[in-house]
Chains A and B, each alone.
Chain A
Amino acid sequence: DGGITQSPKYLFRKEGQNVTLSCEQNLNHDAMYWYRQDPGQGLRLIYYSQIVNDFQKGDIAEGYSVSREKKESFPLTVTSAQKNPTAFYLCASSILPGQGFEQYFGPGTRLTVT
């Protein structure tokens, strides 16, 4: 089955530690995205990538970093510089615009930093 996987589902870290969230897709999509969702809020774009080895900052990139070394993978690192990292993190992918506009989401990782 094609889809997007995120691991782990729940993640706990101590303040001051960097943590990397995994995102893998086997949909052969070119574009991938990372969003953050806080309780009762919408999704806010952290980073996106439309092609391997290239990525762009979204609306709230400060304190986060990403890499796109393979088409299938788009890991997100939450650094110690992120002031309020506890949130639900969602990864998504899509084909390129002009071919369709649907984003497919993974199941998410709920990160708790104490």
Chain B
Amino acid sequence: GQSLEQPSEVTAVEGAIVQINCTYQTSGFYGLSWYQQHDGGAPTFLSYNALDGLEETGRFSSFLSRSDSYGYLLLQELQMKDSASYFCAVRVRTGANNLFFGTGTRLTVIP
């Protein structure tokens, strides 16, 4: 089976940096993705890590350590619009893009 752990809530100040951690236990692992979801909206893709290290995309970065079964999403220069839920998801099958999602971290950005 699979399990993912991420904090349920995080609060941070506008302009600051916040890190959302994700630890996973899976029977197979091919990569870690991050998705953003605003209330009532559709999830949108942020990043994907298959190999150890840091991937940077604008204000967002994602890190993976396969040996530690751990990853994180780093959001810099926080903006009010970043208030949303953030989900880590593991790709668990070769030959498919099937994802197993964590329960999400609700980020609240305050002025």
Cα–Cα, bound, A31→B91 (Å): 14
Residues facing A in B54-111 (CB within 8 A) are 87, 89, 91, 94-104
Chain A count of residues within 8 A CB distance of the other chain: 25
Chain B count of residues within 8 A CB distance of the other chain: 24
**Quick one: closest B residue to A108, CB to CB?**
B42
CB distance from A74 to the nearest CB of B (A): 14
Contact call A41/B104, Cβ cutoff below 8 A: yes
* Chain A residues within an 8 Å CB radius of B45: 102-104
Contact call A97/B42, Cβ cutoff below 8 A: no
Of the listed residues A31, A94, A101, A107, the one surrounded by the most CB atoms of chain B closer than 10 A to its CB is A101
* Chain B residues within an 8 Å CB radius of A102: 33, 45, 48
* Chain A residues within an 8 Å CB radius of B95: 97
Give the A-B pair count, Cβ closer than 8 A. Answer: 60
Contact call A58/B98, Cβ cutoff below 8 A: yes
Contact call B96/A101, Cβ cutoff below 8 A: no
Contact of A50 among B31, B96, B99 (CB under 8 A): B96
* Chain B residues within an 8 Å CB radius of A42: 4, 87, 89, 101-104
Interface of B toward A, CB cutoff 8 Å = 4, 31, 33, 41-45, 48, 50, 87, 89, 91, 94-104
Known: A42-B89, A48-B96, A103-B43. 7 other contacts (CB 8 A): A33-B98, A45-B100, A59-B100, A97-B94, A102-B45, A105-B42, A108-B42
